[in-house]
Amino acid sequence: MLISEASMKSGLSADTIRFYEKSGIVPAIERGSDGLRRFSPENVEWLTLLYWLRKTGMPMKDMQRFAGLYREGDRTVQERKALLLGHAETLKRKRTDLDRCEEVLAEKLAIYDKLERNQT
């Protein structure tokens, strides 16, 4: 598939895909005789993973580290897993913080609702 379809399926813009490719965090993407990139389902799966890692706040340096470990093969599975587990822990902490923020906002909104009712 071409970059436009890979972009649509992965959630990444074509520019981001090109940037990630130049940054070395995307495994090799084949090119057709016309010089255009040809994305395999595996490429799109990888791009989709990158989309969600970035969307959840994984730093580029960690994404580059993950990609580098992937290129080194199966002997790095434990390191890749550890990196993803660390990111999962970060997400849990962020979720806890967001839940608390939501509680604080709900309390404040309840106060404003009460003030508005008292004004009428």
Q: pLDDT tens digit string along 68-113? A: 999 999 999 999 999 999 999 999 999 999 999 999 999 999 999 9
- CATH number for the domain harbouring residue 104: 1.10.1660.10
CA torsion sign for 88, 94, 96, 102 is negative
pTM exceeds 0.85 for this model: no
Percent above pLDDT 90 for the chain: 94
pLDDT of 44 strictly over 80: yes
- Separation CA 20–CA 66 (nearest Å): 13
Q: What is the predicted pLDDT for the residue at 46?
A: 95
Structural domain total, the chain: 1
Pair 38, 32: CB distance under 8 Å: yes
Domain holding 27, by residue range, is 3-119
